[in-house]
Each structure stands twice: as C-alpha cells, then as structure tokens.
Amino acid sequence: MEERIFDEAFFKGLNRVKHVSRAAMQGGRSGMRRSKAKGSSVEFADFREYVAGDDIRRIDWNTYGRTDKLFVKLFIEERETYYSILTDASTSMKYGIPKKSILAARLAGALTYMALDNLDRVRLLSLYGDKVKISSDYTGRQGFKKALSWLENVEFGANTDLNCSIRRIPFHNKGVTVLVSDFFSKDTTDKNVENILEAIRYLRYMKQEVILLHVLSPQEISPELEGTMGLIDSETEEMLRITATSRLCRQYKEVLDRFCIKIEQAAKKYQAHYIRMCSDETIEQFIYSGIKKGLLES
C-alpha cells in the first residue's frame, strides 16, 4: 500500500476505549464479557437456596448465620465475545483522497485491537465480489499482529453485493458483526437501501449485534466538479454526462444525505449501530463518535 495504514497515530488512544457489547454471550470460551451463564467468576450475581448437588464451597455461611438457611452465591460467568469484522472490498472503496479503503482497514484494525484487548475473539472478513475471504480467529496480542497483517493485504477491486456476500458467511454463535463499507452498489438508491436492510435483518437473525461503519470520502461528501463532465462509475464503468452546476451539486448532497439517513433508519429499526465516517478523519474521531453514540466506553 502507498500509505502506511497502521501508523503511530493509529495506535494512539486505542488503549483508552473498549467496545460496549450489548450481546450477552452464550457458549464460547471464557473471557472478559459478562454472560448470562452463572459460573465461576468473581462477579456476584444473586443468591438461591441450597439444593442437593450444589457445590458446598459456594454456600454463603454469613447468610446462614443470620437466617439459619443455606444459600448458595451465584456468580456471573465471564465469556469471550466473537467479533466478525467485515470489510467491503469493492472497487468504490479505493475512491477518495485519502482512500476510503485506508480508513476501513484502520477502523477494522482499531476494533480488532479493542476486542483482543478485552480477551475477545476476532475474525476478519473481506467481501470481495460475491466471495468472502475469512481470516482465522485471532485472540490475544499475538493475534493482533496477525490481524493487522491480514488487513494490510486485503485486496480491493470488485463489484460487491453486500447482501449476497453476507449470506455466505457462517455464523455459529452470538457475536458482534462490524460492517465497514461505503454502501454503494450498482443498484438504485432505494434498492440499495433495501439490500442493506435485508443484510442487517439477516445478521440480526443470526444473533449478531450489528455495527455499521459508513465510510465516505471528502469528494463524495462535498464534490467539487465544474463544467461539462463525464462521470464514470468505478465499478460498472458506466458514464454519465453532466454539466456540474452549483445547483446540481446541491441536489447531489441532498440525495446523499437522504441515502445516509435511510441507512441509519434501517440500522435503528434492527437495533444496529450506525456511524458515518469521512476518510480524512482519524481513529480518535471515530472513538469520539463511538463514545458519543454509546458504542464505546473509555
């Protein structure tokens, strides 16, 4: 890659935050996440009367002294969360100055770091065309290095159908699925939003907490076009001849805003998180937005 994805600025502040997952983990391995399972953790959950077969080591003798009844202490068992971080590897992600793909990789890297730091398990996936490239599961700090290496080697440059690609991903347990994309496709805006909605619904069905990270470039947010131009779609190579007037640019911004709002509303409908990022923004700004939206906590 021309630009270093994971530079010094990237690592600054990563230690300050961790992901607040609403997903109460079930199954999986022990970790730092509170699970619904009551187990051998140090975190107290509740009391219940002793029944035969209970571990007598968990009887609370202090309570017995006050009530003359045997009570057993219940503790919340902490288990790891399984993160699936999906990166849209379509051609459109290569667009922009700086490229959206760079921010996408950094966001994926940052979330990987937060997850691994919290003793969770992470897998990285790139949606390339109708294929899905899936990394191995990463855990621990060693896993983070491997993950960064994997992210640096993600190849962008295909026409990706998000909905179709996501349905090819195997989900075995509850977990958190992060989708980093510009959400552009060859379909019309309404059809595109419908596909995104379908994808979120599918992920929710697969018991995933969904986080949508919408990455746009500055040129997409505030296009600076002039005169008569031929705009070429990076994915379909289709050309649209326009005369760029200030009125047309204003109209474009209105359409873009409506598109983003529709995605956000779709996310809200299925209790998914939605954060919009510009490719010239830093990880700190992402963290700030995440904290603001209750996705991250310091």
Partner 1 sequence: MGITRWWPIALAVFIPGIVLLYLLKQKVREQKISSLNLWKEAYENIQANTPWEKFRNNLLMYMQIAALIIIIIALMSPYLTGRDSGYGDIIIMIDNSGSMSGIYSEGVTKLDEAKKQASDYINSGIDARFSVVSSNGYAGLEISGETDKKQVIDAVNNISETHREGAFDSGVSMVQSLVSGMKDYKVLAFTDESVNVQELNCEVIDLSVAGENGALHSVSHSIGEDGTVKVLAYIANYGKSKLITDVNLYLGDKLYDIQTVEADSGKDAVVYFKDIPAGRYRGLLNSDKPYLMAEINSDDMLMADNSAYDILAGTNDQKILLVTEKNSFLENALTLGNTQTVLDKVKAEDADDLDVSKEGYDLVVYDGEVPDQLPQKSNIIFINPKLSKNTKGWQKDIFLYKDNKNNVLVKTKSSKVTEYIEDYSFSCIKAKEFELPSWAYSFFETSSKNTTGYCGYYGGRKIAVIGFDLHNTDFPLQTEFPIFMFNLLKQTMTTEILERNVYNAGEQVIVNRVENTKETVVTDTTEKKEQYAFEQDTIVYDNTNYSGLYSVKEGKNIMYFSVEFPASESNISEKAVVTADKKDIQVSKHINDKVSTRTYIIPILLILTGLLMVEWRVYRKKL
Residue 254 interacts with partner 1 (CB under 8 A): yes or no = yes
Q: Please state, as a whole number, how many other Cβ atoms lie within 10 Å of the Cβ of residue 294.
A: 10
Residue 252 interacts with partner 1 (CB under 8 A): yes or no = yes
End-to-end CA distance of the chain: 31
Token representation of residue 67: 């009530």
DSSP state of 216: E
Instruction: Go through 23-47 and write b for each residue having 16 or more CB atoms within 10 A of its CB, e for each that does not.
Output: bebeebebbebbbebeeebeeebee
The span from the CA of 266 to the CA of 252, in Å, is 21
Residues 65-94 that bind partner 1 (CB under 8 A): 91-93
Count of positions on this chain that bind partner 1 (CB under 8 A): 45
Residues 152-191 that bind partner 1 (CB under 8 A): 182, 184-189
C-beta of 35 vs 192, nearer to partner 1 = 192
- Angle of helix 100-117 relative to helix 140-152, nearest 10 degrees, comes to 170
| Binding segment (CB under 8 A) for partner 1, from list 49-57, 162-170, 172-180, 215-223 | 215-223
Compute the least distance from the CB of residue 279 to partner 1, in Å: 11
Compute the least distance from the CB of residue 252 to partner 1, in Å: 4
Which of 19, 35, 29, 223 has the alpha carbon at shortest distance from 107? 19
Residue 5, amino acid:
I
The span from the CA of 256 to the CA of 193, in Å, is 12
Residue 192 interacts with partner 1 (CB under 8 A): yes or no = yes
Q: Which of 248, 285, 293, 297 binds partner 1 (CB under 8 A)?
A: 248
Residue 97 interacts with partner 1 (CB under 8 A): yes or no = no
Give the 3-state secondary structure of residue 17.
Answer: coil
Residue 242 interacts with partner 1 (CB under 8 A): yes or no = yes
Residue 241 interacts with partner 1 (CB under 8 A): yes or no = yes
Q: Which of 77, 120, 220, 281 binds partner 1 (CB under 8 A)?
A: 220
Looking up tokens 């939605």 gives: 274
| Binding segment (CB under 8 A) for partner 1, from list 20-28, 59-67, 237-245, 288-296 | 237-245
Binding site for partner 1 (CB under 8 A): 91-93, 95-96, 100, 182, 184-189, 192, 217, 219-220, 223, 225, 227-236, 238-243, 245-248, 251-252, 254-256, 259
